[in-house]
Amino acid sequence: MAKLHPELENKEFWYKDITLIPNRLPDFERDRVDLTTYFTKRLKLKTPFVSSPMDTVTEGEMAILMALLGGIGVIHYNFLTIDEQIEEAEKVKRFEAGFVFNPVVLSPQNTVKDVYDINDKYGFFSVPITEDGTLNSKLSGIVTHRDIRYRKDMETELKEVMTPREKLIVAKKLETVDKNDLQAANEILRKNNLDTLMIVDKDDKVVALVADSDIRKNEQFPLATKDENKQLRTFIAAESRFKIAKERIGKGYDAGLDGVIIDASVAFKEQLEIAKYCKENFPNLEIVLGNVDSAEMVEKILKEGSQHCDALKVGIGPGAACMTQQELGTGRAQASAVWECGEVVKKLEPKYGFIPIIADGGIKIPDIIGQDVAKPGDITKALALGAQTAMMGSLLAGLDESPGEKEFDYEENRMVKKYRGMGSTEAIEKRGALRYGIEKMKIRIPEGKVIKVPYRGSGYDFIPQLIAGVKQSLQKQGFKNIKELQEEADIRPI
């Protein structure tokens, strides 16, 4: 266990109140540091970063970024319908895959415009064409970007532009999918210089496809968080109300989801019931409960439902857009909460097994635009205090991959993006009311606010910097991995 300075014991402290003292003599470079960690009991990540389920932070695009770079994104549920949320999760599951099952298909009577619409929605152009536009009919051809890029008439039917079935090289299900042999499919793809390879069954119906761009992406992102089928992993958030969460989780499961965060600003008893239902009906889904911030709360949850809980999320009101502490006098300093919850989880490990902690919020507090810099050291502190991963909202909301447009802020003379608490009046007005358990109440007390965060450009540049920053801070202290950091960090007051 890390060493906590006696002056910090039984005190409230934030990340800014502590520092980590290097007392080893490092003899290795930053690149030797391995940040592999557990997000949940069974799910490993190579990067200990999680994006918050907030409607100005995580939809499909952010979840793809996070998963490609070794972390994971949790898709928010502040949509008008459950299906809209699930569509975002599907974007992630379809994005980079080995075998893409259930590919989107069209019929020969669909038009060039329909292909552009698919690209807008899912980000790809290659579409198998089947006789009736469903997977239940025979393959008729394929349309790729090459076939439509110079077409001006959007109403041209695809039968005019597609490469017809007789000219296609396809792979057999029996020889690829049935043997789970992705390599065999990749070889056919490469040997024939194809962009997309379709896999058909004995009736010539499409069962899956493999894309060349996916193979190249696999090579470009060695840290990527993927499932057994080489599809990116993603979680969704669901409300702590049984009836609606049940429908959401069922649909998410059908879409191939990896897990669910049962969300509430303060953990709610009904979560245990939902978690139990999930484990009984969808044993493959990983379930995260929260938020908690004290040893007592952790103990209560583990006592009643440790077998249904795969990770605990810690943090009540420390986030940049939070007002739970100011408005309701509820919550505490985040670093001490992570320490206390981490300690109790360790103490109870012999009884309940290993339960990872997610340090949620407060990684940095952007009060004055311009002075708001990324602080990888806060992430290292969260890990040293006992968290396995850090969940971030405001730090990621300024990236290109978060929902919403960047705009110029004349007061601050710089580009910004909007970031809003899910308990803000603005977010509650959409659907967020459920998260705060106040959907039936007429009087609403906002628990969050709307702020601006600096525009940070592409996450594909920003996240690698953050990873390097965390690695560098471990290296300075002489730790090669998170386990060593957690066992030996020397945590002192500033």
- Catalytic residues, by residue number, are 322, 435
Residue 279 or 420: which CB sits closer to ligand XMP? Answer: 420
The reply on whether position 394 binds ligand XMP by CB under 6 A is: yes
Quick note: the x/- pattern for ligand XMP over 32-71, rule CB under 6 A, is --------------------x-x-----------------
Q: For the CB of residue 245, give the shortest distance to ligand XMP in the complex, in Å.
A: 17
Residue 323 or 489: which CB sits closer to ligand XMP? Answer: 323
Show the 3-state SS of the chain: CCEECHHHCCCCCCHHHEEECCCCCCCCCHHHCECCEECCCCCEECCCEEECCCCCCCCHHHHHHHHHCCCEEEECCCCCCHHHHHHHHHHHHHHCCCCEECCCCECCCCEHHHHHHHHHHHCCCCEEEECCCCCCCEEEEEECHHHHCCCCCCCCEHHHHCEEHHHCCEEEHHHCHHHCCHHHHHHHHHHCCCCEEEEECCCCEEEEEEEHHHHHHHHHCCCCCECCCCCECCEEEEECCHHHHHHHHHHHHHCCCCEEEEECCCCCCHHHHHHHHHHHHCCCCEEEEEEECCHHHHHHHHHHHHHHCCEEEECCCCCCCECHHHHHCCCCCHHHHHHHHHHHHHHCHHHHCCCCEEEECCCCCCCCCCCCCCCHHHHHHHHHCCCCEEEECHHHHCECCCCCCCEEECCCCEEEEEEECCCCHHHHHHCHHHHHCCCCCCCCCCCECEEEEECCECHHHHHHHHHHHHHHHHHHHCCCEHHHHHHHCEEEEC
Q: Find the binding residues for ligand XMP in span 403-442 (CB under 6 A).
A: 421-424
Residue 54 or 357: which CB sits closer to ligand XMP? Answer: 54
Residue 74 or 197: which CB sits closer to ligand XMP? Answer: 74
Show the 3-state SS of 172-231: EHHHCHHHCCHHHHHHHHHHCCCCEEEEECCCCEEEEEEEHHHHHHHHHCCCCCECCCCC
- Amino acid (one-letter) located at 169: I
- Amino acid (one-letter) located at 408: F
The reply on whether position 186 binds ligand XMP by CB under 6 A is: no
Q: Are the CB atoms for 218 and 211 separated by under 8 Å? A: no
Between the alpha carbon of residue 444 and those of residues 235, 447, 470, the distances in Å are: 29, 9, 39
Distance separating alpha carbons of residues 57 and 319, to the nearest angstrom: 13
Binding-site size for ligand XMP (CB under 6 A) equals 26
Closest residue to ligand XMP, based on beta-carbon distance: 448
Quick note: the x/- pattern for ligand XMP over 352-371, rule CB under 6 A, is --------xxxx--------
The reply on whether position 392 binds ligand XMP by CB under 6 A is: yes
Handedness of CA 90, 95, 101, 107 (dihedral sign): positive
Q: Find the binding residues for ligand XMP in span 111-130 (CB under 6 A).
A: none
Quick note: the x/- pattern for ligand XMP over 445-464, rule CB under 6 A, is --xx----------------
Q: Find the binding residues for ligand XMP in span 140-169 (CB under 6 A).
A: none
Which of residues 391, 451, 463, 467 is near ligand XMP by CB under 6 A?
391
Handedness of CA 27, 33, 34, 40 (dihedral sign): positive
Q: For the CB of residue 24, give the shortest distance to ligand XMP in the complex, in Å.
A: 30
Residue 90 or 360: which CB sits closer to ligand XMP? Answer: 360
The reply on whether position 402 binds ligand XMP by CB under 6 A is: no
Residue in 379, 354, 393 with CA at minimum distance from that of residue 73: 393
Q: For the CB of residue 11, give the shortest distance to ligand XMP in the complex, in Å.
A: 21
The reply on whether position 317 binds ligand XMP by CB under 6 A is: yes
Q: Find the binding residues for ligand XMP in span 320-339 (CB under 6 A).
A: 320-324
Which of residues 265, 389, 402, 475 is near ligand XMP by CB under 6 A?
265
Phi, psi at 350, each rounded to 5°: -60, -30
Quick note: the x/- pattern for ligand XMP over 286-315, rule CB under 6 A, is -----------------------------x
Contact residues: ligand XMP, CB under 6 A: 52, 54, 265, 315, 317, 319-324, 360-363, 391-395, 421-424, 447-448
